[in-house]
Amino acid sequence: MLCAVLLLSSCMGGKRLDIRGAVPGDLQGTYTLILYGCSYPTDLENLAILYPEGGPVTFEMYALKTAYTVQNGLPADEALKRAEQFLKCNIIAAKTQLSKIVGREGTIAGYELRSLYPPYKFAMTDVLIVNYSLKDSKVTVYISLDPEIQKNLDSSGQLPHRL
C-alpha cells in the first residue's frame, strides 16, 4: 500500500491539500459540482466535489472525461443535495461524509462528499484514496481504491475496476 501511495504522490506536482471535517452549514454561495463514478450500482469509486464559483482555484480530475460530470452555478444547498442524491447510486454504501479540502494556510479550496461503507463489508468504512494537488491555481484530483480493497476485489472477481 505504501508503494502505491508513494508512486501516486511522485506523479503529482504541487502542494498536497488536506481533508478536514465539515458540516453542511459551512457551504455558502454558489458552487461547481463534480460528480465522479457511479458507473454501476456496486461501484466503490464515487465522489462528489464542490468548489466555490469565482474562487481562487479550480478543480480538474485526473480521470477519463467519461468518468465524471460537471455542473456549474449551483447554490450551496442545491449542490449538496445533488451530491447526496448522486452518491445514493451505490447500493452498498451506509452513509456519506462531508469534508473540507484545505490548503496549508488553512484556506478552504472546496469540499468533498464521499460514501462510507459498513465495516463488516470491507473491514474499513472508507475505501478510497483521494489526493488533492494544488499547482498554480488548479487542484488536480487523483482517486483510487485502497490497494487492499482492490486486491481483494480482484482476487474474488466480485466487482470490476474502472480503468
pTM: 0.87
115 lies in a domain? yes
**Which grid cell sits at 121?**
463489508
| Number of domains within the chain | 1
Q: What is the rounded distance in angstroms from the CA atom of residue 26 to the CA atom of residue 132? A: 20
**Which grid cell sits at 92?**
452498498
4 lies in a domain? no
161 lies in a domain? no
2 lies in a domain? no
Owning domain of residue 106? 12-156
Residuewise pLDDT in 10s, the chain (163 residues): 444 444 444 455 789 999 999 999 999 999 999 999 999 999 999 999 999 999 999 999 999 999 999 999 999 999 999 999 999 999 999 999 999 999 888 899 999 999 999 999 888 999 999 999 999 999 999 999 999 998 888 876 655 444 4
Q: What is the rounded distance in angstroms from the CA atom of residue 86 to the CA atom of residue 67? A: 13
